[in-house]
Each structure stands twice: as C-alpha cells, then as structure tokens.
Structure 1
Amino acid sequence: MGLLTLVEDRPTPKNVYNWRVYTAATVASFASCMIGYDSAFIGTTLALQSFVDEFGFAEMSASHLALVKANIVSVYQAGAFFGSLFAYVMSYFLGRRKTLFAFVMVFIVGAGMMLGANGQRGLGLIIGGRVLAGIGVGGASNMVPIYISELAPPAVRGRLVGIYEMGWQIGGLVGFWINYGIAETLAPSHSQWIIPFAVQLIPAGLLLVGALWLRESPRWSFSMGRREEAIKNLCWIRNLPADHIYIIEEISYIDADLERFRTEVGAGFWKPFAACKQPKVLWRFFLGGMLFLLQNGSGINAINYYSPTVFKSIGIQGTNTSFLTTGIFGVVKTVITFIWLLFLIDHLGRRRLLMIGATGGSLCMWFIGAYIKLANVSANTKNTQLSSGGIAAMFFFYLWTAFYTPSWNGVPWVINSEMFDQNTRSLGQASAAANNWFWNFIISRFTPQMFLKMEYGVYFFFASLMILSVPFVFFLIPETKSVPLEYMDRLFEIRPVRKANKIVISELGELEAEFRHDVALVKGEKAVEERFETAEQGQETRRS
C-alpha cells in the first residue's frame, strides 16, 4: 500500500470524494481559525508595550500581574466550557448548521465588545467580551468536529476532521506573527494593540457568510425523522443519486444504528443521558475526557497563551526576540499539521501517532527542564546571548513541537468526533469539548503562578503527564480509522484493544459481500420477472 492509499470500509465511487465534502469541512473550520487565532495572539498582545502602558501593568506587583493576566486569558476558557455544553441543547433542537451560525454571532458580539476597551474604561470590556467570545468558540468547538465527521466518508474522515485542526493552526500562525509585525512597524499606541483584537472578526465573518451555503447534517435529519431532507442532503454531499448502491448501503447503516439505539434506550432529548447508564457508553465519555486532560497536560496551552513567559524561562531576552521565536513556533506547528492532515492521520492511524508523540515529546520536555535547572537561567538575566545549552534547549523545544503537533494536537478531536453513536454523538462531543475547555482553563489560569513557583519543575510536570499517556493509549484506545460511525459500538466491544480495528474491518468485508449478494439476488429476481412479463405480453400480442 502506498502512503496515499485509502483504506475503505467498502468499495467507494470516486464521486464520494468530491469538492463539496472538502469545501463544507473547510467552511466549517473557519470556526477553528477563530479559536487558534485567540490562543496565539492574546499572550503576545499582553506583552506589547502599548498594552502594558495603557493598562498600568508596570505598576503592578509580580503576583498581582500574574493574576490579572491569568484572568484575562482564562475567562475565555471558562466561557468556552459553558458554550460547549449549551451547544448540545441547541443542536438537538436546531441542528448542527443553525447552532454553529448562532454561536458565531455570539462570538462576534464578544469580539466587538473588546474593541471598546481603553485605559480609562479599564479591562472590564475585554474580560466581558472574552467571556462571550469564549461561549461562541466553545459552542463551535462542539459543533464543527461533529458536523464534519457526520458528512465525511469513513476513509477520509480523519483528514476532513483534520481540516478543523488545520484551521486552528492557520489562525494560530496569524496570531503568533501579527504582534511581531505590529511591534516592528508601529509605534506603541492604542491603535497598535487594538489591531490584534480586531483581526479576530475576520474568520468569524467568513464563517457567518459560509454557513449560509452549508447543508444540514444528513445524520441529524435522519435522527429527527426528516427522512426526505436527509436523503436529499446525503445525495448532495456524496454526489450520487438516491438509488446508487453506496447511498442505499449508507442509509441502511444509519437506519440500523438508529433502530438499535431506539430499541435499547429510546429516542428523545433526555435519552442520551439515560444511555450513560450503560457502561459501554459511559466508558467512551471517560476516554474522551482523559484524552483532553492528557492533551492539555502536555503543556501546549501553557505555551500558546504564555509564549513570552515560556521563552523567557529558556533564556530568550527581549520582547521582539520573544515574538520572533513564538512566530517560528507557529510556522513549525502549521507545516507539520499540513503533513499530519495529508499523510499521517488516515494512514499511520490515531493510536500510533498518539504513542509516538507522547514518547518523543516527553523526552524533549525532560531535557528542557534539566537545562533550565543546571544552567540556572533565572539568575542569568543580564546575559542576552543564548549559550550552547540554550540553543540545544531551543532545538528540543521545536523538536517537542514536531512530536506534539501531528499527535496530541489534533488526534483527540478526531477520535472524539467519531467514537460515539448517532444518538450520543452530540452529548459525547459536548462532554469532550467541555473537558478540553475545563483543563484548558485550569492550565491557563495557573500557568503564570506555576512558572513563578516551580520554574524548571513545570517542564518535568508536563513531561511526566506525557509519558503516562503512552500506556493509557496502548491499553484503552482502539484504532478508529476507516471504521464507519455506525460500527463504533462494535469496535469498543472487542478485546484486546490493539486488535479491534482489524477485526471490525474484516467483519465489514463479510457483511459487504453478503449485502451485495442479496442486492444481486433481488435484482436478478426482478430481471426474471421482467422477462416473464415481456414474454407473456409477446404471447398475448401474437394471439391477438
């Protein structure tokens, strides 16, 4: 098999891999551009001299300043936590598309509020606006992976959900570089720091317009009994007629999954909560939450939100130098995400990427922490040149990025978007997104204090969590690539976990052969009947 060979659950017409499914995933992923941009721009904006001067940061004590920065950053995650839960309620009644549209509007209102802040009004509008913006991105972080996974053909589902992660990285790349460009070209002023806040309206506006073109998820429409609408949208996204064998098979999978759930649990808004009483369902909620705990435990959001602080701990001196180093970090992440999206996620698989990323990333963090301890970086603030050990630490930091980005950066989102059945998918994704934002909040809220108190110990802490994730994935997370959404229940039943994917794919091959044999028999019987009818009509014609 070649690197670009797709592993399909059944023979798939080329029409299925059409421009509509890729465009829909791209449009929906403007939401992740909003999230990625915010995670990147806020840390360097707080370090801009114009922002520091306007809001009097220089007059605050170190502990008070750490608290203020933590509050500005973390209220966004707090809002996102609740937004991800609100999205479950809205998506049940309104569907994926309208819910996404509504949360984008909330984000735009919040982003607009931030633009009204200044030294006289204080930080209130920024904090209030970030709460609303957080609610908006929290809801979007729930909806977009679900929406994409429900549209995606199984063989490219990882790639399409990966576009969501790609949008996150592109937004982050802009966010990492924008303040470096501003600091280099504009004198410190109110306009200098307000520009980064205004730019976040661009991806939000693009998503608002693009959402008008999107179609509702066929699987949501099926679950709500809107069968005609569902078939129409499914045929549109697959670019196939309703009587094509591929469409007939996919509808049969969806119907069987819905019928099974309604028999076992029942349909309705509260039924997915009742389903959580089942150990097999509750287990997947636990796994989803743990994936995001371990993702945030890698240290990524400490770096995203407080990159100047992180690079200062390694020995990088000067605001602009720190901004430049942060910008290069963004470039490395984006380039590697492209490689992950195009080649790795649907070929190496989810499990292998997570274990490789955790092992390599942990080793890098141990080296960085050891360097900071042995070189006593915090005591050598007068030396503006990096030592050879400092250069090595920077190398290992970028190497950590190379391990983390194609693994723990996006894979937890992919797994959570696909491992739940149709009736618990929205609630499961709400739980996963809420877990992400909860742990994101914890890390962003306490990172400044951790660097003040723990110094090099912060890196040892993150390294320990990364290495612990390896046995977690090996023993508990099955490989989900190429498995249809309707067969995730079967996948999570099989033990040992490491063999589950191969067993399910083999079973699907047998079912596929049986299904097509039955269809051929039906078609053959119809053909025989048609021949008899034609013969009888001919005899009657001759007799007359």
Structure 2
Amino acid sequence: MGILTLVEDRPTPKAVYNWRVYACAAVASFAACMIGYDSAFIGTTLALPSFEDEFGFKSMSADHLGLIKANIVSIYQAGAFFGALIAYVTSFFYGRKNSLYIFSLVFILGAGLMMGANSERGLGLMYAGRVLAGLGVGGSSMVVPIYISELSPPAIRGRLVGIYELGWQIGGLVGFWINYGLTETMAPSRTQWMIPFAVQLIPAGLLLIGVAWIKESPRWLFSKGRRDEALRNLSWIRKLPVDDVYMMEEISFIDATLGEQQRTIGAGFWKPFIAVGKSRAVQWRLFLGGMLFLWQNGSGINAINYYSPTVFKSIGIQGTNTGFLTTGIFGVVKTALTFVWLLVLIDHLGRRKLLMVGAAGGSMCMWFIGAYIKITNPAANAKNTELSSAGIAAIFFFYLWTAFYTPSWNGTPWVINSEMFDQNTRSLGQASASANNWFWNFLISRFTPQMFLKMESGVYFFFASLMILSIIFVWFLIPETKSVPLEAMDRLFKARPVRKANKMILEEINVQDEEFRQGAGVILDEKDQVQQQERVST
C-alpha cells in the first residue's frame, strides 16, 4: 500500500477526504500542542540554573528537592485528572466546540499565574497555575479525540485522531529544545526561565482563535435533536449534498444507532452512568480503555518526559547543556516517528499489531539499559565525563526504545478510546480514558524522583516487565478497530475470537452495505421516473 492508500468500509466519494475535515482536526489539535509543550518543557526548566537559583534548589537536600520537583510536576496531572472528568459535563451540555473554548481559557489563566511566581512570593502561584493548566489540558484531552473521531470518515479516522498526537509531539519538540536554546543564547536570569512559561500561551491562544471557525460535531447535534444544524454541519464537513447516497447512508447509520440507544439506554446526562451499571459490555470497554493507559504509562514514557535530565544522568550523560541536547534529540526522534505512525502505520498496519510490536521492542531496549546501569553503575563514575562504548550503546538503545514506543503506544491508545464507545457513552468513555491517563501519569510523575533514588537500574527493569505484560493484554482482549464505523463498535467488541473480530464485522458491513445501496438505487430510480412523468405532463 502507498502512504495515502485508504482501507474503506464502503465505497466513498473522493469529496469526503477534503481539506475541511483535516483543518477541523488540525485546529482542535492545537490543544495537543499546549499539552505536549507543557509536558516537555517543565523537566528541563526545573533543571535550569536560573530557576534553581530563583527558588533556592541548590540549598535543599536531595530528598527535599525531589519532593519539591515531584510536587511541581504532579499537581499538573492531578488537575488534568479532574479536568477530564469535568469535561464530561461540559461536552454533554455545551458540546465539543464550546468545551474547547472553556478549557483553553482555563489553561491561559493557569499559565499566567505560573509567570507570577518568584523568590519573594514563593512557589504558591506556581502550584496554583499548574493545577489550572492541568484542568485545561485534562479537559482538552477528553474533548479533542472524540470531536475528531465523530467527524472523521472511517478510513482516515486513525489518521485524523493521529493529528492530535502529532500536535502533542510538535509541542513536545519545542518544549524539549527551548531550554537548550536559552542556555546557549542567554545568561542565567529571571527572564531566562520565564520565557518557557510564557510560550505556553501561544498554542492556547491559537486554539482559542481557531475554535471560532470549526463546526460543532454533527453526531453531538443529532443526539441533542438539533437535526437541521447537524445536517448542515455534516454536509459542510463531507462537501456533499444531504441527498447524496453516501450521506443518506451515514445519516441512516447515525439514526439507527441513536434509535437503538434510545430504546436500550435512553438519552440524558445520567443515562450513561446507568448504562455502565447495567451493561457488562460498557463496563468492559471502560476497563479496557483505562488499562491501555496503565500500560502506556507503564512503558516509562512520562518518567522520561517529565524528568529527562534525571533519566539521561542515570545513563551517564553529564552537564546541563549536554543533558538538554540529548533530551532535544529525543524530542526530534519522537516527532519524526509520529509522522510515520500518522501517515503509514495507524490506518494500514492497524492498532493491535502496532501495540504488540512496540511493546516487544521497547521491553528489549529497557532490559539492556537496566543491565548496563546495573553492571557499570554510571552514578559512581560521575567524574568521568566521557561515555564508554557500553554507555554509547545504552544511548543507542534508548533511542531505539523511542523508535518502538512512539509509533505504537504513544498515540494508539487515544485512537482506540476515541472510537470504541457508542454515541450515548462516548463522552463518558473518553472522560474515563482521559482521567485514567492522567491518574497513571500522576503516579509516575509523583514517584519517579524517589524511584531513581531508591531503585536505580530497577526502574528500567520495572518498565520492561510491564511492557511484556501489555503484549498479553492486547493479544487476548483488544480487537482491531481499524476501518470499522463508529456505529458498529458494539458488534465488534461482542465478536469472538478477538483476533478475528475485525474481519468478521467488516464482512457483515459489506453485505449490509450492498443491500442498502440496492434499496437506495430502487428509490432513486422511482424518483427519476416520477420527475420524468411530471415533465411530460407539463
């Protein structure tokens, strides 16, 4: 297959794959840029000598300093956890678009408070700003994937949700490099460490401006009974008239799904909660979605994102600038491989294979790095500023781990969670998935400094073991969701065996599609005959 080859669930007009659907996804993904940047810049900013001098880090004991850094980083994840839950409320009552307005404003307020912290006021404003920024990114992380998945044609749904992940990596790339650039071009000062905090406002501002242009999710509008507006938005996004066969088919799928949910679950704020209590199927998908983020964080990615200088120091990288440079290269590798994942892998190789291959390769790399640290103990040879050949090999395996992780576990759990719930439980399911992501993220970020102090090489063995367990989880429990319409996800997750579910459901859809088109052809033929008779009579 070529890079842009499409695996379609049914014959699709070329107009459906138009610039509007990509533009809406790209605008919403400015939220991911602010998330990625905020996750990446904080680790190296805390290691800036100017920041350390401002808040007296150099006079603190190792344990106390580890606690302060863990608090600055982890309260952001705590805020994000609650932001993801709050987003269920806002997205249900106010829609996807207005929710993005709300959370971008909250993030901007938080970023402004962070910039007010200094040695005289202490870290109070920093903590408050980190919490508010966390609320903003947590809410956005819940809303954006479901917004994109709800407007996406099935054949490019993974690619479009992948734009969200790409935005995350672009933001992270800037975050990883910004402090290296500042240390190379500016003398230590308050302005030096204030700049990376101020840059947070750029993607948040672009999101705030861009949201005014994008359209509300047609599926959300259908669920609220705003049918005329939903039809206009869907027609605008697809660049097709409402009476086109493809549009008629998609609308019929949406109507059928909403009708079925109305009969079985009902519409309303509390109905999804009731459905969770009554439906083992919904409970099962909530469990699967949450566990995907447990395994994602269990790979070690957020320990690296938030504490990259500490990670590279454990391998034997010495010096602030050298650590920042190595971290920056890590960001470049992640971003480049995200393009490969987005354009080639996610909608061609599929979700299951990516997750299993990524975990297997990543685990192998973590075992090697841990063994290197266990045998050579780089921390005991801190005076030696040159890496040995084994140290160079460890750095190579670290980047190889990045090559396995990025096009697999980095964004794929977000894609699966955005597409595997039905309309009535999609917001609740995504809120649960996002909250799970930030909960496990919080645990990793809160205890990583202590883990490196106490476990040393054991940290890498810990992450390697979790990656092996994730392969077993995916093989037995996660069906392939590639190319399956959102309205068929209930059937997909009921099909057994799991490894064959995708093929079985797509075959069923092809049969139903052929029957629908034959019926639609008869209706259109009759309509043409009526119009011809009217012309003759006239």
**TM-score, normalised by the number of residues in structure 1:** 0.98
Which residue of the partner structure matches residue 521 of structure 1? 522
Task: Give the conservation status (yes or no) of the 8 Å contact 2:480–2:499.
Answer: yes
Give SS of 1:298's match: coil
Q: Distance in 2 between matches of 1:2 and 1:63?
A: 53
CA deviations on 1:143-180 (whole Å, 9 max, x unpaired) are 00010000110000000000000000000000000000
One-letter code aligned to 2:442: F
Q: Distance in 2 between matches of 1:486 and 1:397?
A: 40
One-letter code aligned to 2:182: I
Give matches, 1:199-218, under 5 Å.
199-218=199-218
One-letter code aligned to 2:76: Y
Paired positions, count: 537
Q: Distance in 2 between matches of 1:359 and 1:533?
A: 67
Give matches, 1:490-509, under 5 Å.
490-509=491-510
Q: Distance in 1 between matches of 2:189 and 2:514?
A: 69
CA deviations on 1:316-354 (whole Å, 9 max, x unpaired) are 000000000000000000000011111110000000000
Which residue of the partner structure matches residue 164 of structure 2? 164
Q: Distance in 2 between matches of 1:98 and 1:260?
A: 27
Residue 319 in structure 1 maps to residue 320 in structure 2: yes
Which residue of the partner structure matches residue 149 of structure 2? 149
Shift in alpha-carbon separation, 1:530–1:235, aligned structure 2, 3 A = closer
Instruction: Name structure 1 gaps, 5 residues minimum.
Output: 539-544
Which residue of the partner structure matches residue 454 of structure 1? 455
Which residue of the partner structure matches residue 225 of structure 1? 225
Q: Distance in 2 between matches of 1:526 and 1:67?
A: 73
Deviation at 1:528, TM superposition (A): 4.1
Give matches, 1:175-214, under 5 Å.
175-214=175-214
Deviation at 1:4, TM superposition (A): 3.2
Which residue of the partner structure matches residue 305 of structure 1? 306
Residue 240 in structure 1 maps to residue 232 in structure 2: no
CA deviations on 1:273-306 (whole Å, 9 max, x unpaired) are 1111201111000000000000000000000000
Which residue of the partner structure matches residue 289 of structure 1? 290
Aligned-residue sequence identity (percent) comes to 75
One-letter code aligned to 2:43: G
Which residue of the partner structure matches residue 131 of structure 1? 131
Q: Distance in 2 between matches of 1:529 and 1:93?
A: 44
Q: Distance in 2 between matches of 1:497 and 1:434?
A: 26
Which residue of the partner structure matches residue 437 of structure 1? 438
Which residue of the partner structure matches residue 50 of structure 1? 50
One-letter code aligned to 1:124: G
Give SS of 2:4's match: coil
Give matches, 1:264-413, under 5 Å.
264-276=264-276, 277-413=278-414
Give matches, 1:526-541, under 5 Å.
526-530=527-531, 537=537
Q: Distance in 2 between matches of 1:38 and 1:52?
A: 19
Give SS of 1:407's match: coil
Q: Distance in 2 between matches of 1:123 and 1:51?
A: 11
Task: Give the conservation status (yes or no) of the 8 Å contact 2:290–2:437.
Answer: yes
Deviation at 1:530, TM superposition (A): 4.7
Residue 95 in structure 1 maps to residue 95 in structure 2: yes
Task: Give the conservation status (yes or no) of the 8 Å contact 2:37–2:173.
Answer: yes
Which residue of the partner structure matches residue 486 of structure 1? 487
Which residue of the partner structure matches residue 542 of structure 1? none
One-letter code aligned to 2:36: G
Give SS of 2:424's match: coil
CA deviations on 1:337-381 (whole Å, 9 max, x unpaired) are 011111110000000000000000000000000000000112111
Deviation at 1:527, TM superposition (A): 3.8
One-letter code aligned to 2:470: S
Shift in alpha-carbon separation, 1:252–1:302, aligned structure 2, 3 A = same
Q: Distance in 2 between matches of 1:93 and 1:361?
A: 41
Deviation at 1:471, TM superposition (A): 1.1
Instruction: Name structure 2 gaps, 5 residues minimum.
Output: none
One-letter code aligned to 2:57: F
Deviation at 1:2, TM superposition (A): 4.0
CA deviations on 1:446-502 (whole Å, 9 max, x unpaired) are 000000000000000000000110011011000001111000001001000111111
Deviation at 1:132, TM superposition (A): 0.2
CA deviations on 1:248-268 (whole Å, 9 max, x unpaired) are 111000000001111011111
Deviation at 1:400, TM superposition (A): 0.0
Q: Distance in 2 between matches of 1:321 and 1:237?
A: 47
**How well do the aligned residues superpose, as a CA RMSD in angstroms?**
1.0
Which residue of the partner structure matches residue 84 of structure 1? 84
Which residue of the partner structure matches residue 74 of structure 1? 74
Task: Give the conservation status (yes or no) of the 8 Å contact 2:33–2:172.
Answer: yes
Q: Distance in 1 between matches of 2:194 and 2:464?
A: 36
Which residue of the partner structure matches residue 541 of structure 1? none
Larger mean Cα displacement after TM superposition, 269-278 or 430-439 = 269-278
Give SS of 1:409's match: coil
CA deviations on 1:88-146 (whole Å, 9 max, x unpaired) are 00111100000111000000000001111111111111110000000000000000001
Task: Give the conservation status (yes or no) of the 8 Å contact 2:3–2:343.
Answer: no
Q: Distance in 2 between matches of 1:414 and 1:437?
A: 16
Q: Distance in 1 between matches of 2:176 and 2:132?
A: 22
Q: Distance in 1 between matches of 2:311 and 2:360?
A: 21
Q: Distance in 1 between matches of 2:124 and 2:192?
A: 19
Residue 252 in structure 1 maps to residue 215 in structure 2: no
CA deviations on 1:204-227 (whole Å, 9 max, x unpaired) are 000000000011000000000000
Which residue of the partner structure matches residue 427 of structure 2? 426
Q: Distance in 2 between matches of 1:322 and 1:53?
A: 19
Shift in alpha-carbon separation, 1:169–1:533, aligned structure 2, 3 A = closer
Shift in alpha-carbon separation, 1:363–1:529, aligned structure 2, 3 A = same
Give SS of 2:196's match: helix
One-letter code aligned to 2:152: A
One-letter code aligned to 1:206: L
Task: Give the conservation status (yes or no) of the 8 Å contact 2:161–2:415.
Answer: yes
Q: Distance in 2 between matches of 1:225 and 1:530?
A: 32
Which residue of the partner structure matches residue 116 of structure 2? 116
Deviation at 1:523, TM superposition (A): 2.2
Deviation at 1:522, TM superposition (A): 1.7
One-letter code aligned to 2:234: L
Larger mean Cα displacement after TM superposition, 517-526 or 403-412 = 517-526
Deviation at 1:18, TM superposition (A): 0.6
**TM-score, normalised by the number of residues in structure 2:** 0.99
Q: Distance in 1 between matches of 2:160 and 2:419?
A: 12
Q: Distance in 2 between matches of 1:258 and 1:265?
A: 10
Shift in alpha-carbon separation, 1:383–1:509, aligned structure 2, 3 A = same
